[in-house]
Amino acid sequence: MKEDVIVEFPLSGEWFVGADGTEKGHELAFDFVRVDARLRATRTTALRELLTTVPLTDYYGWGQPIHAPFDGHVITAIDGCPEVSRSVASILFDSLVSLFSSGQEALIARMKADGDGDIRCFAGNHLVIESSLRPGVFAFIAHARSGSLTVARGETVSAGQPVAEVGNSGLSTMPHLHFHVMSDPSPLTDRVIPFRFARYEALIDGQWQLREASLPTRRQRIRRVD
C-alpha cells in the first residue's frame, strides 16, 4: 500500500487495549475490552469470577455497538455462532494447556492448506467489509454477539454505522472486539496490513488527549471521538 490506510475507531465509549498488534501471532491485530477504573471487565466479585461462570451480561463490554470502520460493502457476514461462557479458572487452565500444545496452530494450518473458508471455530460471529474508497482493503471484525449482526453479505455500509455488537463467540476468553485490516477477504491468508485510526482520545498521565492518524498501545485507555 502506497498510502496509509486510515479507518474510523469501530467502537463507542471508552475501551482498554488488550492487544495492540505487537504480540507474536497477533501482528497488526487489536483486541479491545471494556473495563472499569480497577481494570475489571465484569461487575461481579473477583472470587466469583475466578471460580464460577460469570453471566455474559455482567461484562461491561457485552452488547456494546460495533461500527463500520469505513464506507464499504459487506463481503462476509456470519451470525448464529453460540456464545462462550466460562470461569476465569477454566480459561487459565486452557491457556496453560495451549502453551504445551500445537493443536490450535495445527487446526489453522490445516484449514489454510485445505482452503477451508469456515473460520467460525475461532472467529465466531464475524464480518469482513471491503472499503469503497480503497478497493482491496478489508476490515475484519470478530467475536460478535450471536444475533447482533445488522447487515448481510452484499449490503453497503457507511463509516460509523452500527453493524453488530460485542460478544464472546468463537475462540474468545471474554466479550471483546478483535479488529484488523487485511489485503485479502479471507483472514486465513494472513495478509494483514498496517493501518491507523483517524481520530480517538487516549488517557495519558490522567488526561484525555486527542490522537489523529495514530494507533494506541497495549494497556492504554482510549475512547471514540465523533
The pLDDT, as a whole number, for residue 122 is: 85
Task: Give pLDDT tens digits for 82-106.
Answer: 998 766 556 555 554 454 445 556 6
Count H helices and E strands in the chain, helices first. 4, 13
Q: What is the mean pLDDT of the segment spanning 209-220?
A: 96
> pLDDT, tens digit, for every residue of 106-156?
666 666 666 666 788 889 999 999 999 999 999 999 999 999 999 999 999
Q: Which pLDDT score, from 0 to 100, does residue 163 have?
A: 98
List pLDDT tens digits, range 63-77. 999 999 999 999 999
What pLDDT shows up at residue 190? 74
Q: What domains are defined for the chain?
A: 11-194 (2.70.70.10)
How far, in Å, are 3, 92, 100 from residue 96 at the CA level? 41, 6, 7
- Per-residue pLDDT, averaged over 161-185, amounts to 94
Question: Closest Cα partner for 131 from 181, 73, 184, 197?
Answer: 73
What was the pLDDT predicted at 117?
Answer: 67
β partners of residue 25: none
pLDDT in tens, 179-210: 999 999 998 887 899 999 999 999 999 999 99
CB of 27 closer than 8 Å to CB of 186: no
Percent of the chain whose pLDDT exceeds 70: 82
What percent of the chain shows pLDDT beyond 90?
Answer: 63
pLDDT tens digits along 5-55: 999 999 999 999 999 888 877 889 999 999 998 888 888 776 666 667 788
Q: Which residues make Cβ contacts (< 8 Å) with residue 96, sequence separation at least 6?
A: none
pLDDT, mean of residues 149-168: 98
